[in-house]
Structure 1
Amino acid sequence: MKKTIGTLVLASTATLLAACGGDSETVTIGVSGSDTRIWDFVAEKAAEEDIEIEIVSFSDYVQPNIALAEEDIDLNAFQTISYFDEFIEDRELDLSPIASTVIAPMALYSEKVDSVEELPDGATIAVPNEATNLGRALLLLEESGLIELSDDAGLTGTPEDITENTKNITLEPIVAGQTPRVLPDVDASIINNGIAVDAGFSPVDDSIFRESDTATPYINIIASRTEDQDNEVYQRIGELYQQEDVAQFIEDEYNGGMIPTFVSLEELTNY
């Protein structure tokens, strides 16, 4: 009996391989966090064109670029164009963007107050400590009216660029992945979108302030090794992502917590 079952299993496997025709191409895509709903949707579309997408999840914002540069994965899709540019310059990595995807709004969360106005004088706010995320967090605080920044703060401003702080807020820079965990210990915490979702928060329903959705530097991208940026299969994946049904899926699934933002590479890289 065991021999018969083994023969049937092998036969089924052979039939499956024959049905696939051996023509499909597998592409591994690195993401940060566990939310793969959009890519699961895109993968179903890609499978119809004999492109098999395998998602590799990472727990931080460093390893997906390292893994891509070291050829452990084919593409990644987890970061803003501004973070990407800063990272590859610092690490001297030969990577390039091939398509835009979404804006994932960064937001301010609190377990102690229900609005920015309720934050007390001397409040402590946790912020991500990575350079581009910190700069983004400061711009968010400026947009909320809590601080003002110098004109030359740019995208990678630091606390030294704060020119006005009427509530005497104290900033506590910590690793981005820890920003949800410190909520009980601070008055508020600025949390990246993907990290917030993984922690069970909705940027729309649970935050006390959310950044605007039109900031080009914070558009997320699909990246490849520069030598592969014209790869037809990779380009096709970018095209599939940017189709109208994917945009509708994102809008329906995330209700404003993730915003489809499909722009040209020229606009993306000239922010």
Structure 2
Amino acid sequence: MRMKRTLATVAAAAIAATGLVACSDDSNDNKDNNAKDGGNVTVKIGTTESDQEAWRVFKDLAKDNGINLDIVQFSDYSPVNEALAQGEIDVNKFQHIKYLAAYNQSSGNDLRIVGSTEIVPLALFWKDHTSLDGIEGKEIAIPNDPSNQGRAINVLVQAGLLKLKGNIADELAPTPTDIDKDASKVSVVPVDASQTPSAYNEGRPAIINNTWLDRAGIEPSTSIFQDDPNSKEAEPYINVFAARKDDIDDETLNKLVELWQTPEVEEAVAKDSKGTSVPVYRDKQELNDILDRLQNK
């Protein structure tokens, strides 16, 4: 794994100033020695959300536990996994299992899961309404991207508003063609995720993910229905720490998972998500089994 003990404050400052890789390939013996002599280990971690409060708390907590986090901010999702696969970073935390599965399938790489963080339920919003009453016959805007469309349809299935046809290709990722229109109470219109708040503001019901809720200033607490974070349908959307296959049992990376799951970080995550995030504590093997099932499909 690409981690290295910080030997001196001056060296650490030089690394930070130049933006170079903060560590080099070390043997397991060297990593063990770092732990024994009390030296700090530097881990380069990639994310798209480093401006959130949870990351400040996480970084401070890691430092208290002998881990210097070199947080690499990406402006877009697409390069983060590739940077990990190429060894430019040691670990990342920005994605759910389904996104990771799709990356592995398209790239031919085999990134794996170190541990779980949280899940953010996907919810249905309808301006000036507090329940599903009166929604029958309405047209509901749903995001059309691969990461959210199937989940949005399943939200409406869980709400009892849609029925799916039998023997569909993938029950975890249904498409509009899988909907039994005659047996359903509503219809759906797939739109770009950025347009779902516009549909909401026009008075139409809409499935809106947290990114666009925040940008549109819509309070998550005003949803009229959300999916069950403990359901099988929600499993692909558990957010995770990902690493290269050979590193998923690394002591330091597993320590980072433990630290993210502490009350201090979870409180900050809840604040960032305005109370919508739900902590997830799943066994590493179970998480990778879910990953494998999604990739096989």
Residues 251 and 260, structure 1, Cα contact 8 Å, conserved in 2: no
What secondary structure sits across from 1:155 in the alignment? coil
> How far apart, CA to CA, are the structure 1 residues paired with 2:50 and 2:186?
36
Residues 1-271 of structure 1 mapped to structure 2, 5 A cutoff: 23-33=39-49, 36-111=52-127, 113-119=129-135, 121-130=137-146, 132-151=147-166, 152=168, 153-164=170-181, 166-174=184-192, 176-177=193-194, 179-180=196-197, 183-184=200-201, 187-203=204-220, 205-215=221-231, 216-250=235-269, 254=273, 256-271=275-290
In structure 2, distance between residues paired with 1:119 and 1:262: 35
Q: Give the SS at the match of 1:25.
A: strand
Alignment partner, residue 7 of structure 1 = none
Q: Which ranges of structure 2 fall in alignment gaps of 5 or more residues?
A: 1-8, 14-36, 291-297
Could you list the per-position Cα deviations for residues 136-183 of structure 1 after superposition, in whole angstroms to 9, with x for gaps in the alignment?
111111112221123434112111111145445232242x45544554
Q: TM-score, normalised by structure 1?
A: 0.77
What TM-score comes out, normalization by structure 2 length? Answer: 0.71
Q: Distance in 2 between matches of 1:147 and 1:68?
A: 39
For structure 1, list consecutive stretches of 5 or more residues without a partner in the other structure: 1-12
Question: How many Å apart are 1:15 and its aligned residue?
Answer: 11
**DSSP-derived class of the 2:45 partner:** strand
Considering fraction of residues, name the structure with more strand: 1
Question: Residues 188 and 59 from structure 1, CA distance in 2 versus in 1: closer, same or farther, beyond 3 angstroms?
Answer: farther
Aligned-residue offset at 1:102: 0.5
Cα distance change on mapping 1:123 and 1:270 into 2, 3 Å = same
3-state SS of paired residue (2:133): helix
1:11-43 Cα distance to aligned partner (Å, 9 max, x none) = xx85996xxx99433323333346622222221
Write the deviation string for residues 192-247 of structure 1: whole angstroms up to 9, x where unpaired. Answer: 234433543443x1322211121333221110122332333222211212234444
Residues 63 and 112 of structure 1, relative CA distance in 2, 3 Å threshold = farther
Look up the equivalent residue of 2:187 and give its one-letter code: I
Q: RMSD of the TM alignment (CA)?
A: 3.2
SS at match of 1:148: coil
- Matched letter for residue 159 of structure 1: P
